[in-house]
Amino acid sequence: MLLLWVGLQPLQAQRSLTGRAVKMVDGDTFDLLAGGTVYRIRLAGIDCPERGQPYYREAKDALGSWCALGTLKVVYSSKDRNGRIVGDIYTTGGNYINQKLVEEGMAWHYTKYSSDQKLAAAERAARQGRRGLWKEAAPMAPWDWRRRGRK
């Protein structure tokens, strides 16, 4: 029997952390206290307005409201270049916080790093419903804002 392994890539093991949010850094990053250790968590697949952009404070507050609901579960398989754990965040009630922020118009689906169809559909619905940052005539994506700031 001949097995062909061409094109297969090793799967990254998914891991999880369970704990409580102790600090909101911005709309898509927070600190999680789990097992006596504080971890910096970056929500996967989304990008929220940066400090100085419209809806920055609202996005940060929305994340804080979701995180305040109690114990959180972070499902992840990687860290970013800044050492933050990049993951999907769930409340004990099963709410997928990454998606909720996009649905509320507090975040963009970050298609450069995500092909999650739930996030794509949530952004389409938020745009159509003119929720949150989609009330603006021409909201600037955070990645464009950051690039503009580096020039």
Query: Can you tell me the mean pLDDT for 54-61?
Result: 98
Residue 9 resides in a domain: no
Catalytic site residue 42? yes
Query: Can you tell me the mean pLDDT for 35-39?
Result: 97
d(CA 131, CA 87): 24
The domain of 24 spans: 15-146
**Which of 15, 20, 50, 104 does the annotation list as catalytic?**
50
Catalytic site residue 104? no
**CATH number of residue 89's parent domain:** 2.40.50.90
Residue 25 resides in a domain: yes
* pLDDT at 10 > cutoff 60: no
**Which of 40, 51, 57, 84 does the annotation list as catalytic?**
84
Residue 4 resides in a domain: no
Query: Can you tell me the mean pLDDT for 58-70?
Result: 97
Residue 141 resides in a domain: yes
Query: Can you tell me the mean pLDDT for 32-47?
Result: 97
Calculate the alpha carbon distances from 23 to 38, 41, 137 in Å. Answer: 10, 10, 32
Catalytic site residue 123? no
For 35: left if phi > 0, alpha if psi spans -120 to 50, otherwise beta; the answer is left
Domain count, the chain: 1
**Which of 15, 20, 42, 51 does the annotation list as catalytic?**
42
- 126-135 confidence digits (pLDDT tens): 999 999 999 9
For residue 51, which of 132, 151, 149 has the smallest C-alpha distance? 149
Residue 134 resides in a domain: yes
Confidence of residue 9 (pLDDT cuts 50, 70, 90): very low
- 83-100 confidence digits (pLDDT tens): 999 999 999 999 999 999
pTM of the full structure: 0.89
For residue 5, what pLDDT is reported? 42
Residue 36 resides in a domain: yes
* pLDDT at 54 > cutoff 60: yes
17 touches 71 (CB < 8 A): no
